[in-house]
Copies of this chain bind each other. A is one copy, B any other.
């Protein structure tokens, strides 16, 4: 991990981040309290409304907690401290006074001494001013079963959601406190990390184990050193103790659960999806009625890990958790299900061509393929000078596949348009590298145009244009186009196949004078390596056109 280092003033990280957060209109009427930067409080809405204000906060470094939850149906204020440091009593009191009306307020506090004391004293001071204040402490961590004071982890956001839901519905303070207390009393969490977080500007603490189990949210060591061997095993490291704890709590096996999958910071979205699948495939999955996340909800800066929180779906909890909110950071709340599958169109893999015979065209195909097989070592030698020496093998491999298709027989020899399409299909699967796809594009487009009635030169021109469009090269850049386009030009000008063959060879030969290019294999080489060497792809195309011309005569 790299320490957090994109900031201008280490002492102002939180204030600058909050100011940054509020340089955009989130549609929530967000404001900072004056007293900023010492008092770092984000508030929303009309402070005079008649609804209970749910307020939370704590040290920064857990984004989107808590500023991300200042939104309708969640928090009315977030009180921020510095990174991993509790806000001051004055800051909490300022938050309370800014958003609390006659209905009173609920403080949702994670169980850390600093937060408990500072929010607690602020609550008592607010009471001296006649404000109705209640406080619910969240201590959802199960990592230390004997702890008198379990830490508050990601489960805290479920308390925000349920409390915010009831407050928004107009419930009175006693009701909001009761619902919040039920969730705080029932939610259980545990976390796992493969790399700790790095405090701004400070070098990282190294783990002396691959992973740690049972961490708080401030980068402190976990209670156990573990090894992560896979997603399912990692999920099990949390699922098993959580299920044991639910049993010890007296939660019956048929109680459905909400499961919050929290990204602690820098875990990759794919890993989070893989983990979520592992969790839902575990014994916990069978009991999961609602999945929340995966998402970063309670992070520890850039910690590489995840946590699981489980909450029995007590009466009313599912509705409260599922109610949509506008807060952008609020995670997906969804019902688990098996992935659904839609049938694949048969046309993707079907060989939609009917074999037919045409002696002349079959001879042409066979002669061209034979010429490519015979040119294999020469083309490889040419490519060895400017590439990885396999152009001959690539073209010869495709030629052998076409000869096999002619033998089966499976090629629609009687129909030039269909034949062009069919050869394109064979090349797409039998010819590796970009050249296989490019030739397939050329032949597929040509075939389509022939189907539409275009004369061969026009159809080929459309094919070459598709190669230019999709491949990104132009004539003169040491690619197959340097043989393809002159040959088409010759045909389009009324020339014979022999004229086309001569034009293709001339074009290929001229590539030896192209000393630099920005596309294709030659773009990786210096000009002195290129000078005097014919592009092997262009040479292969010339060989094709020459063999075709010879077969015609």
Q: Is the CB of B276 within 8 A of A24?
A: yes
Distance in Å: Cβ of A417 to nearest Cβ of chain B: 9
Q: Is the CB of B278 within 8 A of A8?
A: yes
Q: Is the CB of B270 within 8 A of A428?
A: no
* A10-48 interface (Cβ within 8 A of B): 13-14, 16-27, 30-36, 39, 43, 47
Supposing A31-B339, A117-B470, A274-B20 touch, asked if A26 and B332 sit within 8 A by C-beta, the answer is: yes
Asked if A444 is an interface residue, CB under 8 A from chain B, the answer is yes
Question: For A234, what are the chain B residues with a Cβ–Cβ distance below 8 Å?
Answer: 6
B-contact bits for A337-360, CB 8 A (1 contact / 0 none): 111111111011100000000000
A417 nearest in chain B by CB position: B128
Q: Is the CB of B61 within 8 A of A518?
A: no
A441 nearest in chain B by CB position: B121
* A112-145 interface (Cβ within 8 A of B): 113-114, 116-121, 124-125, 127-129, 135
Supposing A268-B302, A276-B23 touch, asked if A230 and B342 sit within 8 A by C-beta, the answer is: no
Question: For A118, what are the chain B residues with a Cβ–Cβ distance below 8 Å?
Answer: 437
Question: For A25, what are the chain B residues with a Cβ–Cβ distance below 8 Å?
Answer: 334-337
Supposing A97-B348, A128-B447 touch, asked if A63 and B276 sit within 8 A by C-beta, the answer is: no
Q: Is the CB of A20 within 8 A of B117?
A: no
A340 nearest in chain B by CB position: B31
Question: For A441, what are the chain B residues with a Cβ–Cβ distance below 8 Å?
Answer: 117, 120-121, 124
Asked if A186 is an interface residue, CB under 8 A from chain B, the answer is no
**A296–B270 CA distance with the chains assembled, in angstroms:** 13
Q: Is the CB of A34 within 8 A of B341?
A: yes
Give the residue of B19, B93, B124, B270 whose beta carbon is less than 8 angstroms from that of A445: B124
**A266–B448 CA distance with the chains assembled, in angstroms:** 46
Asked if A377 is an interface residue, CB under 8 A from chain B, the answer is no
**A21–B276 CA distance with the chains assembled, in angstroms:** 8
Question: For A334, what are the chain B residues with a Cβ–Cβ distance below 8 Å?
Answer: 24-27
Question: For A6, what are the chain B residues with a Cβ–Cβ distance below 8 Å?
Answer: 194, 228, 230-231, 234, 267-268, 271, 274-275, 306
Supposing A34-B341, A334-B27 touch, asked if A270 and B117 sit within 8 A by C-beta, the answer is: no
A333 nearest in chain B by CB position: B24
Give the residue of B228, B348, B424 whose beta carbon is less than 8 angstroms from that of A93: B348
**A460–B155 CA distance with the chains assembled, in angstroms:** 34
Asked if A94 is an interface residue, CB under 8 A from chain B, the answer is yes
Q: Is the CB of B434 within 8 A of A117?
A: yes
**A2–B31 CA distance with the chains assembled, in angstroms:** 38
Question: For A4, what are the chain B residues with a Cβ–Cβ distance below 8 Å?
Answer: 268, 270-271
* A323-338 interface (Cβ within 8 A of B): 328, 331-332, 334-338
Instruction: Name which of A6, A20, A146, A437 has the most chain B CB atoms within 10 A of its CB.
Output: A6
Asked if A64 is an interface residue, CB under 8 A from chain B, the answer is yes
Asked if A98 is an interface residue, CB under 8 A from chain B, the answer is yes
Number of copies: 2
**A340–B36 CA distance with the chains assembled, in angstroms:** 11
Q: Is the CB of B124 within 8 A of A17?
A: no
Question: For A90, what are the chain B residues with a Cβ–Cβ distance below 8 Å?
Answer: 348-349
B-contact bits for A70-104, CB 8 A (1 contact / 0 none): 00000000000000000001100110011000000
Instruction: Name which of A13, A47, A89 has the most chain B CB atoms within 10 A of its CB.
Output: A89
Asked if A466 is an interface residue, CB under 8 A from chain B, the answer is yes
Question: For A410, what are the chain B residues with a Cβ–Cβ distance below 8 Å?
Answer: none
Q: Is the CB of A194 within 8 A of B60?
A: no
Question: For A153, what are the chain B residues with a Cβ–Cβ distance below 8 Å?
Answer: none
**A125–B448 CA distance with the chains assembled, in angstroms:** 9
Give the residue of B121, B344, B469 whose beta carbon is less than 8 angstroms from that of A428: B121
Supposing A24-B276, A128-B444, A291-B24 touch, asked if A342 and B121 sit within 8 A by C-beta, the answer is: no
Question: For A273, what are the chain B residues with a Cβ–Cβ distance below 8 Å?
Answer: 16-18, 20-21
**A445–B133 CA distance with the chains assembled, in angstroms:** 13
Supposing A61-B270, A128-B448 touch, asked if A120 and B39 sit within 8 A by C-beta, the answer is: no
**A272–B19 CA distance with the chains assembled, in angstroms:** 12
Q: Is the CB of B470 within 8 A of A17?
A: no
Asked if A195 is an interface residue, CB under 8 A from chain B, the answer is yes
Asked if A485 is an interface residue, CB under 8 A from chain B, the answer is no
**A527–B342 CA distance with the chains assembled, in angstroms:** 66
**A93–B27 CA distance with the chains assembled, in angstroms:** 41
Known A6-B228, A125-B444, A265-B268; further 17 A-B contacts with Cβ < 8 A: A6-B194, A24-B337, A26-B332, A26-B334, A31-B342, A32-B341, A90-B348, A90-B349, A98-B342, A113-B434, A117-B441, A121-B440, A121-B470, A124-B466, A128-B447, A148-B472, A328-B332
Residues of A within 8 A of B (CB): 1-2, 4-8, 13-14, 16-27, 30-36, 39, 43, 47, 60-61, 63-64, 89-90, 93-94, 97-98, 111, 113-114, 116-121, 124-125, 127-129, 135, 146-149, 194-195, 228, 230-232, 234, 265-278, 280, 291, 296, 299, 301-302, 304, 306, 328, 331-332, 334-345, 347-349, 421, 424-425, 428, 434, 437-438, 440-441, 444-445, 447-448, 451, 466, 469-472, 518-519
11 interchain pairs, CB-CB under 8 A: A6-B267, A8-B274, A21-B273, A23-B291, A30-B340, A94-B345, A119-B470, A120-B437, A121-B444, A127-B445, A268-B301
